[in-house]
Amino acid sequence: MSGNAVQEAPVPPGHLGARQRKHDGDQYLAGRADYVNDVMLPGTVHVALVRSPHPHARIVGIDTSEAQADPSVVAVLTGEQAATLAGPIPHYMSPSGLGGKHADVHCLAQDKVVYAGQPVVAVVAQTRADAAAAADLIQVRYDPLPFLLDADHALRPDAPRLYEDWPDNVLMAGRFADGDFDAAARDADHTVADEVRMQRSTTAPMETRGYIADWDDRTQKLTFHGSCQNPHPLRWMLANTLGLEERQIRVVVPHVGGAFGLKSHGYPEEALVCVLSRLLDRPVKWIEDRSECMLVGGREQRHRFEIAFDYDGTIRGFRNHIVANLGAVTAAPGWGMVFLSAVSFPTGYAIENCDVSYQAVVTNKSPWNASRGFGKEAANLVMERAVELVADRTGLDPVEVRRRNLIPADQLPRATSGGLNIDSGDFHGLIDKALDRFDYGLWRRRQDEARREGRHLGIGVAFELAPEGADIPGALVGGFDTTTVRMDPSGKVTVLTGVTSPGSGNDTGIAQIVAAELGVPLSDITMVQGDTELCPYGFGNFSSRSTILGGSAAALAARDIAQKVRQVAGVMLGLDPADLQIVDGMVTDGHGAVIPVSAVAFAVYSLAFAVAAGIEPTLESTRTYKADNIRHTPDAGGRIQPYPTYASAFHVSLTEVDPETGVVTLLRHVVAHDCGTMINPMMVEGQVHGAVQMGIGIALCEELVYDPDGTPAVDGFKSYLMPRAVDMPSIELIHQVTPSPFTLLGTKGAGETGVGGALAAVTNAVADALRPFGVHVRELPLSPTRLLPAIAEGPVAPMRAEVAG
């Protein structure tokens, strides 16, 4: 944690707002936290996959004889054989629900491959090394087909089709429009057009994916251990793929070493290990290696936009067309990022005339999955680059343009052109806090001095808005969740919740909520997550929803129990329950009458027909919390409102660019952040720090590159470059608290804000540093290999700039 976060007034540990360390942190520090690869079941065998070396080809023959002759090999499975044991994988979210196309996805390719790296044959052996060695013995004959890597090429009428029954290569397309952009552009003083190209990247969690399936033929039940985000929806997916009832499947998620969307389900390997376990009636394990993890992409988009504005900096209209390169179709939810990129415009700006359209295009790159930010980071980047153009053309300070166009606090809640209803915020307050911390005026003067000395400093600012807590109609993506709180006769508490933790610490936050509501020490609380047989039905973790929904459900359940405790304690003390409070494990009236919670709990279970006769026995409650501010009924424009809360931030970044080498050095990064009520500021800061680093990596260095033959050129961290600790400045974080009026505790999401704002601020800072060279930034990442040619090329103007009239 950075020591630069503004400190709040001290709060007692275990209460809301306390800077509480992870409740189970000792397990991680001592190496006692079990991850999926630590699960060792008797008789486990291991899987290796033969993957396609071609981006597009027909499978004309498979020779498995040499591998099957290996004594260490237990089984070999081809796509044709797997099709008799499992059906298509149901989509996490189906594009057809929004008017898109459909393509079946199977656990192994059958007659054709559509990307390099697609699983073709599975080999099972006694050890992982044996399985990998045997996989090398498999001979697959392919008939290569024309392939597509570029989305614009895939849109051409004569482009080869990935899926023969589709008329084109567009998975889905849509538009969100409000007002009249053309009329606004005619009336505006100026209109500028430009484009931004965002590269393909990945989220690279520390722990890769891994699954263990254990079929018990005697009980006809399957236990699935996995590093996953959504155990209950995953159970539904497996049941439908395997032809089982959900009650026959138990999904268990151990500790997870990071997810960031990448561990959302819909992968072939999830169903595959289950098929193999049923076939062999023994546990089957697959652990992803880093090169396989690098197949999972996301974010690759091209935005061509126009922005209309007056000389005073007032933005009159914005139009954008997005083309996203999805790679091949997958059952995972990555395609939804394009939809959210489009619907997120114009972020927090008061722009009446906004027209955003999108095309989600399939190519022969590997598929997308969800990536932290989930499309919002692209919208924030492009909107902030467009606002920079307004500042450039008007000569106004970039901060002033934002002040004049961001929605004022007294106009919230407010609907956007995409149909979203921004719940609350103080965007101008964020600007003030960030600039004050950064000392903006001083650094502008220092920048001028540095340029006279031949140094090229850049200052970039960016506003960021992050819709969080999604509920998608027709999908197991819920804007509600369920938590059970249970107090035993000794007064100890167990919390079982449908939300899960990817390692972020939401379990600690939920425990703090329960501790605060029940007035008991945090050490008295045990958290249980990620087990479909123990926990109430829930949707897991995504869209920064866990504390908003699971935490609120826990608060409601804990309040039920607290009411019972006070009622029974009132009988035992001879006092009115309304006069009692629970503090530090004691029920007290504050005037000397006191009884331990443990004594009251014991009385509930042992004196149910005496002092506890007035309550329903047992101290247990299961509650579901359903957020407000979600609307599935389309408005007049056909738009829905799927997000209850909107976190926000303002970033200021200071960079230095060496024009001789193209190397960018980050000197400072300041963030003013607002996620509503903070349950645990320490956990919020950890989330923001990680998100900011991810945004910086996308801006400067991270990229999944493909060779001209259609195969990935990236297979690990020597070729996928991420910011190192020495590359990062100290992140200076200031908190602003604007509670949401639509959630029980005033909370908003805190897991994704930081990606888009840091991405945009750093990009703007680099562009600002290179202003003397006439470099116009359009394409990411801003690596030396991209910056040096741009510096050498010299001045480049926006695509088109014209004065109206």
Dihedral sign (CA 737, 742, 743, 745): positive
Tell me what pLDDT residue 2 has.
Answer: 42
Q: pLDDT of 538-566, one tens digit each?
A: 999 999 999 999 999 999 999 999 999 99
Q: Tell me the pLDDT band of 801, cut-offs 50, 70 and 90.
A: very low
Q: Indicate if the pLDDT at residue 9 is higher than 50.
A: no
Say if residues 359 and 350 touch (Cβ distance below 8 Å).
no
Q: What is the mean pLDDT of residues 91-101?
A: 93
DSSP-derived secondary structure letter, 89: P
What are the residues whose beta carbons fall under 8 Å from the beta carbon of 799, sequence distance 6 or more?
Answer: 193, 194, 195, 304
Q: pLDDT of 98-147, one tens digit each?
A: 899 999 999 999 999 999 999 999 999 999 999 999 999 999 999 999 99
CA 34 to CA 252: how far, in whole Å?
Answer: 12
CA of residue 538 relative to chain centroid, distance: 17
Phi-psi region of 342 (alpha: psi -120 to 50; beta: other; left: phi over 0): alpha
Q: Indicate if the pLDDT at residue 46 is higher than 80.
A: yes
CA 742 to CA 751: how far, in whole Å?
Answer: 19
Q: What is the mean pLDDT of residues 658-671?
A: 97
CA distances to 93, 588, 589, 605 from 576, in Å: 52, 11, 9, 21
Q: What is the mean pLDDT of residues 245-272?
A: 97
Q: What is the mean pLDDT of residues 453-478?
A: 96
Tell me what pLDDT residue 14 has.
Answer: 55
Cβ atoms < 10 Å from Cβ of 419: 18
CA of residue 407 relative to chain centroid, distance: 26
Say if residues 316 and 184 touch (Cβ distance below 8 Å).
yes
Q: Average per-residue pLDDT in the chain?
A: 95
- Beta-strand pair 112-113/57-63: antiparallel
CA 796 to CA 805: how far, in whole Å?
Answer: 25
- Token look-up 């088109």 returns 800
Say if residues 122 and 49 touch (Cβ distance below 8 Å).
yes
Q: What is the mean pLDDT of residues 209-227?
A: 98
- Token look-up 């306390």 returns 18
Q: What is the mean pLDDT of residues 61-75?
A: 97
Q: Hey, what are 792's tokens?
A: 């050498």
- Coil, strand or helix: which one is 533? coil
- Token look-up 């209309």 returns 308
Please choose, from the candidates 419, 399, 299, 411, the residue with its C-alpha nearest in 3D space to the C-alpha of residue 356: 419
CA distances to 214, 336, 351, 374, 707 from 342, in Å: 42, 10, 15, 11, 29
Q: Hey, what are 507's tokens?
A: 């379990």
What are the residues whose beta carbons fall under 8 Å from the beta carbon of 106, sequence distance 6 or more?
Answer: 79, 82, 83, 86, 88, 89, 268
- Coil, strand or helix: which one is 19? coil
Q: pLDDT of 734-743, one tens digit each?
A: 999 999 999 9
Q: pLDDT of 710-724, one tens digit each?
A: 999 999 999 999 999
Determine the residue type at 441.
G
Please choose, from the candidates 267, 42, 46, the residue with its C-alpha nearest in 3D space to the C-alpha of residue 135: 46
CA distances to 187, 410, 526 from 413, in Å: 28, 8, 38
Q: What is the mean pLDDT of residues 443-455?
A: 96
Say if residues 365 and 450 touch (Cβ distance below 8 Å).
no
Q: Above pLDDT 70, what percent of the chain?
A: 97
Please choose, from the candidates 527, 517, 508, 528, the residue with its C-alpha nearest in 3D space to the C-alpha of residue 597: 517
What are the residues whose beta carbons fall under 8 Å from the beta carbon of 255, sequence distance 6 or more?
Answer: 27, 28, 33, 34, 35, 503
Determine whether 218 is exposed, middle or buried from the number of CB atoms within 10 Å of its CB (0-12, 13-18, 19+): exposed
Residue 275, φ and ψ in degrees, nearest 5:
-60, -45
CA distances to 224, 279, 540 from 235, in Å: 9, 19, 12
Please choose, from the candidates 768, 793, 764, the residue with its C-alpha nearest in 3D space to the C-alpha of residue 780: 764
CA 470 to CA 454: how far, in whole Å?
Answer: 48
CA 408 to CA 388: how far, in whole Å?
Answer: 20
Rounded (10°) angle between helices 597-606 and 552-573: 80
CA 539 to CA 549: how far, in whole Å?
Answer: 10
- H helices of 303-438, in order, are 336-343, 376-394, 398-405, 427-438
Q: Tell me the pLDDT band of 798, cut-offs 50, 70 and 90.
A: low
Tell me what pLDDT residue 417 has.
Answer: 87
End-to-end CA distance of the chain: 54
Q: Tell me the pLDDT band of 521, cut-offs 50, 70 and 90.
A: very high
CA 651 to CA 398: how far, in whole Å?
Answer: 12
**Picking from 74-83, 605-614, 630-639, which range would have the lowest pLDDT averaged per residue?**
630-639
Q: Hey, what are 437's tokens?
A: 């911390």
Tell me what pLDDT residue 760 has.
Answer: 98
Cβ atoms < 10 Å from Cβ of 158: 5
Tell me what pLDDT residue 637 has.
Answer: 82
Residue 234, φ and ψ in degrees, nearest 5:
-65, -40
Please choose, from the candidates 266, 302, 324, 260, the residue with its C-alpha nearest in 3D space to the C-alpha of residue 100: 324
- Coil, strand or helix: which one is 278? helix
Cβ atoms < 10 Å from Cβ of 746: 18
Taken as a whole, the chain contains a residue count of 805
Q: Tell me the pLDDT band of 797, cut-offs 50, 70 and 90.
A: low
The secondary structure element, H or E, covering residue 164 is none
What are the residues whose beta carbons fall under 8 Å from the beta carbon of 16, sequence distance 6 or more?
Answer: 512, 513, 516, 677, 679, 745
Tell me what pLDDT residue 224 has.
Answer: 98
Say if residues 569 and 587 touch (Cβ distance below 8 Å).
yes
Q: What is the pTM of this model?
A: 0.96
Q: Indicate if the pLDDT at residue 803 is higher than 70.
A: no
CA 109 to CA 329: how far, in whole Å?
Answer: 13
Q: What share of the chain is helix, strand, coil (3-state, %, to 5)?
A: 30, 25, 45
Per DSSP, what are the bridge partners of residue 587? 582, 595
Tell me what pLDDT residue 793 has.
Answer: 85
Cβ atoms < 10 Å from Cβ of 669: 29
Q: Tell me the pLDDT band of 805, cut-offs 50, 70 and 90.
A: very low
Q: pLDDT of 621-654, one tens digit each?
A: 999 999 999 999 988 888 899 999 999 999 999 9
What are the residues whose beta carbons fall under 8 Å from the beta carbon of 580, sequence distance 6 or more?
Answer: 566, 569, 570, 573, 587, 588, 589
CA distances to 450, 611, 657, 775 from 794, in Å: 21, 85, 15, 6
Residue 748, φ and ψ in degrees, nearest 5:
-130, 175
Q: Tell me the pLDDT band of 402, cut-offs 50, 70 and 90.
A: very high
